[in-house]
Amino acid sequence: MGDYVDRGYYSVETVTALVCLKVRYPHRVTILRGNHESRQITQVYGFYDECLRKYGNANVWKNFTDMFDYLPLTALVENTIFCLHGGLSPSIDTLDQIRALDRVQEVPHEGPMCDLLWSDPDDRCGWGISPRGAGYTFGNDISDQFNHTNNVTLIARAHQLVMEGYNWCHDRNVVTIFSAPNYCYRCGNQAAIMELDEQRNYTFLQFDPAPRRGEDHVTKKTPDYFL
């Protein structure tokens, strides 16, 4: 659900793997756009510099950011789970309004496309000004009305660090799923993914951060074929 880059030292490898999976399984993999799939943001938060460091020029960065323009903004799973990176927009009431957006462009600084990638749920009702400087905050009343209007049961989104990898809010109208463990190599958070069975029941799988090389508690295990 977005933000595949700017999240560590291996953004190029991460987004390359995702694109390969999309090519291999085009009808089974959907790659949504996040607010970091952007030319402006990636020049500030690391992906641009990573491409320069690894390839000596910005060609790879340009090719990836051109590709980002074509990523979908939202997805609807089993007609009941609305997936996106950020959150809702005061300019959007229905899913048809999202389908009508001209999304093949750089992420704008304002407007409905920006809101879908930048907004966050909030404990306060109604719409609020986002402290991020882009998008909005939205309350339980907003998400409840959106779900009712569009006949969906859940908004699944990412965009915010949650220590256990996932977090329910808005009376379970909204769930935040964060899949980057030990964010920025210092937060110590778990990662999570959500699985959906044939009865549309949710299961969350949580992952601890992988040990890093050079850490005291990391021990090298002898491969089985040497035993």
61-79: string of b/e by CB count within 10 Å (b at 16+)? beebbeebeebebbeeeee
SS3 state of residue 75: strand
11-38 pLDDT, tens digit per residue, is 999 999 999 999 999 999 999 999 999 9
186-219 pLDDT, tens digit per residue, is 898 999 999 999 888 989 999 998 887 665 554 4
- Whole-number average pLDDT of the chain: 93
Strand order in the sheet with 120-121: 120-121, 136-138, 127-129
* Residue with token string 């009808």: 27
Whether 36 is catalytic is yes
162-178 pLDDT, tens digit per residue, is 999 999 999 999 999 99
Is the separation of the CB atoms in 120 and 193 below 8 Å?
no
Task: Classify residue 185 as exposed, middle or buried by CB count within 10 Å of its CB (0-12, 13-18, 19+).
Answer: exposed
pLDDT, residue 49, reads 97
Mean pLDDT of 88-111: 98
Q: What global pTM score does this model have?
A: 0.90
Tokens of 163: 């220590």
pLDDT, residue 15, reads 97
Question: Which listed residue (36, 85, 159, 170) is catalytic?
Answer: 36
Conformational region of residue 206, where left means phi above 0, alpha means psi within -120 to 50, and beta covers everything else: beta
pLDDT, residue 227, reads 40
Could you tell me the residue ranges of all domains in the chain? 73-177
